[in-house]
Amino acid sequence: METVEKLLLVSPRGFCAGVARAVKAVDDTLALFGAPIYVKHEIVHNKHIVEDFSSKGVVTIETLAEVPEGAVVVFSAHGSVPEHYIEAKKRGLTLIDATCPLVTKVHLEVHRFLKDGYTIVYIGHKGHIEGLGVLGEAKAGQIPLVESISDVENLSIGNPEKMVYLTQTTLSIDDTAGMIRALQKKYPQITQPPLSDICFATTNRQIAVKSLAKVTELVLIIGSKNSSNSTRLMETARQIGTEAHLIDDISEINQEWLVGKKIVGLSAGASAPENLVDGVVQYFKSKGVTVEEYVVGSETMHFAEPLELMKLRKKE
């Protein structure tokens, strides 16, 4: 640690508007109904948030069959397949839908483009919960998923006249751009959604980390291993040529990473709470390291609470 002189704390970082909305939705649901409440899938991909909610009586489940009759269930920020909404209604569950509005936007685009006769190609990570929800809006196998340029090259969908690509909200801007170019080369007629599906927070954090990586020798990203956007931040820094590591908290800082490094950068994924950032900052300060803010941009986006919570408040 003796060699580290400065820690640059980048902005924007940490919670995005969708994550803040989802976490608050669980807190508010607990306050309204009391424990236990059930959350389908991790509310956001951060182990500290999930563990904290668990200690308060939140039960994380993967199937609605695990939810008792008449219980309260919150759908996670990542979105859900239509069948889950139908099942919750049939079973009389009280449903609070905390899906990020930007994920909902992609679900609605699927409906609109299919209705208008488009062939859709979805750019995303195979098996990611967000993509499973989006693809679930269509018949099984109707929308091909690509996660690499080779996947694009291997696409076998004929040459439809009307085509559009949609994307997962948490992808790497640079990697996605490469796949889009490959799609446009293979299918010159393919169109793009009216607005980029990669969310503003993902974009802003990647731009900030790209700038941070150019002025530091090591970048630490706070986020859980199953967080897509956090992993993309680490990869973004590495693509600049800067050493970067993804850590859940200060306990995962490897002292060997710090040897010979004078300037270290710090960011956090969109699902990582600020108290974890504070922990790392205090750790470096305790070692005599100067901490400076490194502001690349700012965010003012805020989403209204889930409609179900609004309705419940009106009844009170």
- Quick: pLDDT tens for 284-302: 999 999 999 999 999 999 9
pLDDT under 70: residue ranges of the chain: 1-2, 316
Residue 96, amino acid: I
Q: CB–CB of 23/46 below 8 Å? A: no
Query: According to the model, what pLDDT value does residue 4 have?
Result: 97
Query: According to the model, what pLDDT value does residue 302 have?
Result: 94
Distance of alpha carbon 300 from alpha carbon 279, whole angstroms: 25
The domain segmentation of the chain, as residue ranges, is: 6-15+199-295, 17-100, 102-186
Distance of alpha carbon 103 from alpha carbon 135, whole angstroms: 12
* 143: CB partners within 8 A, 6+ apart: 110, 120, 121, 122, 134, 135
- Which of 130, 137, 147, 308 is catalytic? The answer is 130
What's the predicted TM-score (pTM) here?
Answer: 0.94
Fold that domain 6-15+199-295 belongs to in CATH: Cobalt-precorrin-4 Transmethylase; domain 1 (3.40.1010)
CATH topology match: 6-15+199-295 vs 102-186: yes
Q: Into which CATH architecture does domain 102-186 fall?
A: 3-Layer(aba) Sandwich (3.40)
Q: Is CATH 3.40.50.11270 what the domain over 17-100 is classified as, yes or no?
A: yes
Query: According to the model, what pLDDT value does residue 92 have?
Result: 96
Query: According to the model, what pLDDT value does residue 316 have?
Result: 65
Query: According to the model, what pLDDT value does residue 305 have?
Result: 96
- Quick: pLDDT tens for 27-41: 999 999 999 999 999
130 counts as catalytic: yes
Distance of alpha carbon 209 from alpha carbon 291, whole angstroms: 17
